[in-house]
Amino acid sequence: MNALTFPILRLLANGQFQSGEAMARHFGVTRATIWNALQDAETLGVRFFSVRGKGYRLPEPVNFIDAGRVLAALGTRGAEFSLDLHDQLPSTNTHLMARAATGAPHGLCVVAELQTQGRGRRGRVWQAGLGHSLTFSVLWRFDCGAGALSGLSLATGIALMRALSELGVSNAGLKWPNDVLHEHRKLAGILIELSGDMDGPSAAVIGIGLNLHLPEHLLKTIDQAATDLNRLGSHPADSSVVLGSVLRHLAMVLEQFEQQGFDSLRAEWMALHAYENRPVSLLMPDGREIEGIATGIAIDGALLVKTEAGLQRFAAGDVSLRRLS
Ligand code: ATP
């Protein structure tokens, strides 16, 4: 990547026009060098306007992460995390999984301003451009084995919901096992990847994508209804405050998860489930669809559904839950 690309994007972050000449002077380079760096931004999918006589501007202001504000929002929980901020990464989960394998510390949080190949479950894609979505992954090391972590994505959902509530977002809900919805539109997704022995210790990379501001062109490329924090609030979300708040709640929820198990969080999760007691359909890996009424979750985070065949339990694995209207 061109070393000037992100410094230039930071100059353009306020969404105002900056002339190529002024930016060239600022960095002590030629206008052609500025142009080349912006071409590089374009290849990363960053859109900008270029107007003769005025210069360049981004379509919208971009709120870059500020480590100081993240730490302020983390408060006393700040000591539990170390932040690793990146301008651009293909996938924060992939990056952190590799670092976890070579001994990265508990609490390491990798954040990408621009994630170009974000992943969902089973090869699906998390779409995000610069400033569109807060994309980060946290490494959490557990003494127990990976087998005991089946409720972890649900616990993470609770942390996200507590943070959203603190940030003034109402009417959000959880969709089993790993999504945050707002009025049936997806606001955030969670992707957990585990490593380690079945008997322990184990390590979890907890990946989160939380939409900040999805432009119309991006919304159209997402194959389900989606929304973002800016559409829900009266003022633009400060990504640093959002990140600090999510991490602080994550630390609190994971402490409870480790000390008391997922069972202690189960009632809170069910109260937040968007489809609790609603008709749902489960898409099975073999293509079958099973319909029923979502009826809570088990102590290991499995979904319980009242079906024609009786009460059935579904482990997250390869099952996808859909609402039946
Ligand atoms: P499941 O119920 O199996 O988790 P899912 O469709 O939510 O199903 P995930 O793997 O959790 O699948 O998330 C990936 C999906 O999320 C994509 O296939 C797409 O439909 C949707 N998606 C991708 N990017 C975004 C985004 N920025 N905001 C909201 N939704 C998105």
Tokens found for residue 62: 């971009």
Ligand 1 shell residues, CB under 6 Å: 120-121, 124-128, 133, 178-179, 186, 189, 209, 211, 222-224, 226, 320-321
Q: Are strands 118-119 and 125-126 parallel, antiparallel or unpaired?
A: antiparallel
Beta bridge partners of 57: 49
Per-residue model confidence (pLDDT) at position 87: 98
Say what the pLDDT of residue 88 is.
97
Percent of the chain whose pLDDT exceeds 70: 100
Sheet containing strand 310-314, strands side by side: 310-314, 303-307, 289-297, 279-283, 320-323
Tally: H helices and E strands in the chain:
10, 16
CA distances from 110 to 16, 87, 107, 118, 196 (A): 29, 11, 10, 13, 20
Whole-number pLDDT of residue 92 = 98
One-letter amino acid at 15 equals G
Residue 20 CA, chain-centre distance (Å), reads 34
Would you state the pLDDT for residue 235?
82
**Bond preceding residue 59 cis, omega within 30 of 0:** no
| pTM for the structure as a whole | 0.96
Residue at 24: amino acid letter? A
How far apart, in Å, are the Cα atoms of 209 and each of 122, 157, 189, 239?
A: 16, 12, 5, 12
CA 322 – ligand 1 centroid, Å: 12
Mutate to test the pocket of ligand 1, among 121, 193, 206, 281 (most ligand atoms within 8 A of CB): 121
288 is a catalytic site residue:
no
What residue ranges define each of the domains in the chain, with the CATH number in brackets?
Answer: 5-57 (1.10.10.10), 67-270 (3.30.930.10), 275-323 (2.30.30.100)
- 121 carries an active-site annotation: yes
Buried b (16+ CB within 10 A) or exposed e, 113-146: bbbbebbbbeeeebbbbbbbbbbbbbbbbbeeeb
- In whole angstroms, give the CA distance from residue 204 to residue 53: 51
Is 186 in the active site?
yes
pLDDT of residue 198: 81
Choice among 119, 185, 186, 248 that is catalytic: 186
The pLDDT of residue 29: 97
Question: Which residues does the chain have with pLDDT short of 50?
Answer: none
What is the 125 CA–ligand 1 centroid distance (Å)?
7
Cis before 201 (ω within 30) = yes
Pocket test of ligand 1: the residue of 213, 218, 224 to mutate, having most ligand atoms within 8 Å of its CB, is: 224
Beta bridge partners of 134: 210
- d(C-alpha 255, C-alpha 229), whole Å: 27
**CA–CA distance, 183 with 174 (Å, rounded to integer):** 10
Which residues neighbour 209 within 8 Å (Cβ) at sequence distance 6 or greater?
A: 115, 118, 126, 128, 133, 134, 135, 188, 189, 191
